[in-house]
Amino acid sequence: MTEVKASKDIAAVVSVLEETLETVRASKHATNCICLIKIDGRVMRFSTYLENALDMVGSLELIKHDIIKRMYAEEQEGGSNVE
């Protein structure tokens, strides 16, 4: 997973999206996509048709667990990158 931490710079967001696009173009097997972007305090979702919603939900649960774990670790270190 590509991640840019603690950056409110739009260039960082564009960089992640460009890297994602390059990865998809280089793959012959990209089939599903979900993209969450926070713009003006509102989370927007963009996605393709999801062939297997249950698999995607499982992947999102793993991502959620990773985010919560990192948030907790950052709080223990005295700082937070979460808004």
Tens-place pLDDT, residues 18-56: 999 999 999 989 888 888 888 888 999 998 888 888 998
Percent of the chain topping pLDDT 90: 31
Q: What pLDDT score does 68 carry?
A: 93
Contact 56, 46 (CB under 8 A): no
75 or 3, which is more confident?
A: 75
Contact 47, 35 (CB under 8 A): yes
